[in-house]
Amino acid sequence: MSLAQALPISSAGLGQVRNDWTRAEVRALFALPFCELMFEAQRIHRLHFDPTEVQISTLLSIKTGGCAEDCAYCPQSAQYDTGVKAEKLMAVEKVLAEARAAKASGASRFCMGAAWRSPKERDLDTVCAMVKGVKALGMETCVTLGMLTPDQAMRLKQSGLDYYNHNLDTSPEFYGSIITTRCYQDRLDTLERVRAAGINVCCGGIVGMGEGLEGRVGMIATLASLSVHPESVPINMLVQVEGTPLANQPKLDPLDFVRTIAVARICMPASVVRLSAGREDMSEGTQALCFLAGANSIFYGPKLLTTPNPGRDRDTALLVRLGMRAMER
Ligand code: SF4
C-alpha cells in the first residue's frame, strides 16, 4: 500500500510544517509498509536538511542523582536503588573545562542536565553562570533542569540559553503509568513558559517502555500538534537499568524504533530529530537506518547522564563509514 492509499488525508502537503496532525494520520504512517515509510521520511528529510549532515551535541550531568521525582525509567530517582549516588551541583569552572573539551572533539552544542524536579533560585544563579560561560566559548547551550516558572525561563534566556530540554516522555494516556509525581499538563506548562521566554524547545520522548503502538502514536501526535514544533526532537530507546521499575521491560523491536524516527521526521519535517539514549545497545545497522529515516542529531561521548553511550571513536568511525559529517552551526 502506498502512502497516498494509506493516509486518510491528501498527502500533497506532506513535507510542509503542519500543527494539526490527528492520531488517525499518525497511526496511518506507522501502518505503512516499512519501505514506503522510509522512502517518504527520506524524501521529506531532503526538503529541509542535507541528509549527510549530523548535528553533534554533548551532554554533561551537572547535578547527578537524588531526584525527588519517580520517573520509572530513571536511575537518578531517589526512590529506586540503582547505585547512582547523589552529588552536588558541579562548580562552574569544572563545567567550562568539560565544555572546552567537548568543543575540541567537534561538539557544536553543549547540554547540561540536572536531576531536579525544578531548580532552586540559588542553583539557578550558578546554572546561569554556566550558560554564560559556555556561550562565550562559541557553543550553543542547552539545559534540562525540570519544571520552570516564567521568571526562571526568562533568567535563563537572559543568560544566553539557546535550548531548553523538557521531554513529554510518552503519550498523555500512558504518562501516569510512568510518572506519578507530576502530570502531563505540568510538562506542557513548562514548555509554554520556555517558548514565551524566546528559548528554543528540545522535546521528545522515550519508546520501549511498554507504551505499545498507540502510546507512540499519541506521543508523536502530541508533539506534532504543539503550536510550534520543538526545534529539536530527541527520540530515546529505553535503557533498562537495574533497580528501576522498567529494568525487566522487554526490548522493543529495533525496526519499531526506526519507524518512530521516520514518523517523527514526517510529522515534524523542519525539526532536528535526535537519536538519543539507547544507542549503546543498538547495532550500527539500526543506527544507519535511523539516519536514513531522518534522524540528524546524536549525543557524542561515552556517557549520557548516567547511562553508557558509544565512545567518540566508535561514532566517528561510523559517521566516516556512512559518509556523514558534523553539521556546522
Ligand atoms: S528523569 Fe529527571 S525528573 Fe525524572 S527522576 Fe530522572 S532526573 Fe528526576
Sequence letter at residue 243: G
Sequence letter at residue 56: I
Looking at the DSSP assignment, which residues form a beta bridge with residue 163?
142, 200
Ligand 1 atom at minimal distance to the Cα of residue 70: 5
Asked whether 239 lines ligand 1 (CB < 6 A), one says: no
Are 79 and 107 in contact by the 8 Å Cβ rule? The answer is no
Residue nearest to atom 2 of ligand 1 (CA): 115
Looking at the DSSP assignment, which residues form a beta bridge with residue 202?
165, 232
**Closest listed residue to residue 275, CA positions, set 256, 294, 248, 301:** 294
pLDDT digit string (tens) for the chain, length 329 residues: 666 666 655 555 788 899 999 999 999 999 999 999 999 999 999 999 999 999 888 889 999 999 999 999 999 999 998 988 889 999 999 999 999 998 888 788 899 999 999 999 999 999 999 999 999 999 999 999 999 999 999 999 999 999 999 999 999 999 999 999 999 999 999 999 999 999 999 999 999 999 999 999 999 999 999 999 999 999 999 999 999 999 999 999 999 999 999 999 999 999 999 998 777 788 899 999 999 999 999 877 656 566 666 667 788 888 899 999 888 76
Helix, strand, coil percent values for the chain (each to nearest 5): 40, 15, 40
DSSP strand E in 115-156: where? 140-144
CA 103 to the chain's CA centroid: 20
Q: Which residue has the cell 545497545?
A: 281
Residue 272: in which H helix or E strand, if any?
Answer: strand 272-275
SS3 137: coil
Residue 224, CA atoms < 13 Å, CB-side half-sphere: 29
Q: How many CB atoms lie within 10 A of CB 149?
A: 15
Phi, psi of 152 (to 5 degrees): -65, -40
Asked whether 240 lines ligand 1 (CB < 6 A), one says: no
183 carries an active-site annotation: no
267 carries an active-site annotation: no
Q: Report how far ligand 1's centroid is from the alpha carbon of 42 (Å).
A: 33
Q: How many CB atoms lie within 10 A of CB 37?
A: 22
